[in-house]
Amino acid sequence: MVNDRSGDAHAPSLSPEGLPPDARERLRELSGDSPGAGLFTSDLSVNEFMLIRACGFHPRGLVFGSSIFNVGISKRRWSKNQEMAAYTEAMYSARELAMERMVTEAELLGADGIVGVRLDITYYDWGRRSAEFIAIGTAVSATGDGEWRTSAGRPFTSDLSGQDFWTLLKMGYAPVGLVLGNCVYHVAHRSVKRTVSQVARSVESPSTTQALYEARELAMTRMQQDAVDVGAEGIVGVELVEKSHMFGSHVIEFLAVGTGVRARPEQPSIPEPQMIMSLDH
């Protein structure tokens, strides 16, 4: 039974790797007596389930991580392009916390990795300045030999679908970790004089261009650094998302997410693809 009596939002109820009691209980039921003997749960579609089994893995359980983060009001200059470092830090830490807890759950299951990781953000009506950061994925274990965990001995994470995971493995690569970089940036307001002078003209606004360009580059650079840190040789499936979240206008978060990959020692021959006409709708 979950029951938190303190209405105090800052009550230190969870350590970074702390899980609610129900999580431990749930995972204990899943792991069964021997690995692979118990029930598994997954958000995989049937095709993904089949493909993951076809490349020598089996699903272990759906794993979650969550962190509700409060973002306080931070100073900004009306007419200045600047990174909002406190916001960047908050948005990054919240995602890291959620992912850390998800990986801890996977470790409790004894899994080798997590596939199909989704990072969701949910806003609730009761807190205008807070949001829940959620990481969800399916923990998988390898049936055969081979080292699939990261160099730190932890399960790998990846946002690849079952189809992408299969293709990646067939090409002789393995996922290392979900890598991300972000940047929350305040885009300067234009001065009244400039707004008036440009009202009937179509021209580039160099300072705005500069701001968005720089913010995007910062997010990408941080993602690359993240990849280097986890020992990846490359990043696949990078997505660049820009959103204002709860910050209001002129403050934008740029988020770059991708899966860091490394080459496996054994390099298989890549099969020649066939051309097909899909009957899908």
Partner 1 sequence: MTPAPVLGTGHGEERGGPTLAERIVRTGSSTSGPGQPHAPSGLDGRTRTTSTDRTPSSALSVDKLLLLTAAGYAPLGIVAGAAVFHAGLVGARLANAELVPLSQALLAAREQATARMRHHAAQLGAAGVVGARVEISAFEDQHHLARVVAFGTAVAPAMPADVETSSAVPFVAALTGRELGVLLDSGYEPVSLVMGVCVYHIARQRPRAWMRNLTTSGELGGYTAALYGARELAMRRLQDEALAAGGEGVVGVTTSETSHAWGSKAIEFFCMGTTIRKCSEPRLGQPATAISLRDLRTAADPAALHGRAARRYGGPLE
Subset of residues 255 to 274 that bind partner 1, contact rule: CB under 8 A: 255, 257, 271-274
51 counts as binding partner 1 under rule CB under 8 A: yes
User: Where does residue 142 fall: left (phi above 0), alpha (psi -120 to 50 degrees), or beta otherwise?
Assistant: beta
- Number of Cβ atoms within 10 Å of the Cβ of 29: 11
Record the tokens describing residue 80, joined without a space.
């200045």
Give the shortest CB-206-to-partner 1 separation in angstroms.
28
33 counts as binding partner 1 under rule CB under 8 A: no
Record the tokens describing residue 1, joined without a space.
């039974």
Q: Of 35, 41, 212, 250, which one interacts with partner 1 (CB under 8 A)?
A: 41
Q: Please provide residue 127's backbone torsions phi and psi, each rounded to the nearest 5 degrees.
A: -140, 105
183 counts as binding partner 1 under rule CB under 8 A: no
The residues in 76-135 that bind partner 1, with binding defined as CB under 8 A, are 86-87, 89-90, 93-94, 97, 101, 118-127, 129-130, 132
Facing residues of 156 across strands? 113
- Cβ-contact 118, 59 below 8 angstroms: no
Q: Of 10, 193, 204, 266, which one interacts with partner 1 (CB under 8 A)?
A: 10
Q: Please provide residue 57's backbone torsions phi and psi, each rounded to the nearest 5 degrees.
A: -125, 160
Looking at beta carbons only, is 74 or 81 nearer to partner 1? Answer: 74
Record the tokens describing residue 111, joined without a space.
């899994």
29 counts as binding partner 1 under rule CB under 8 A: yes
Using DSSP, state whether 233 is helix, strand or coil. Answer: coil
Site string for partner 1, 184-223 (x = CB under 8 A): ----------------------------------------
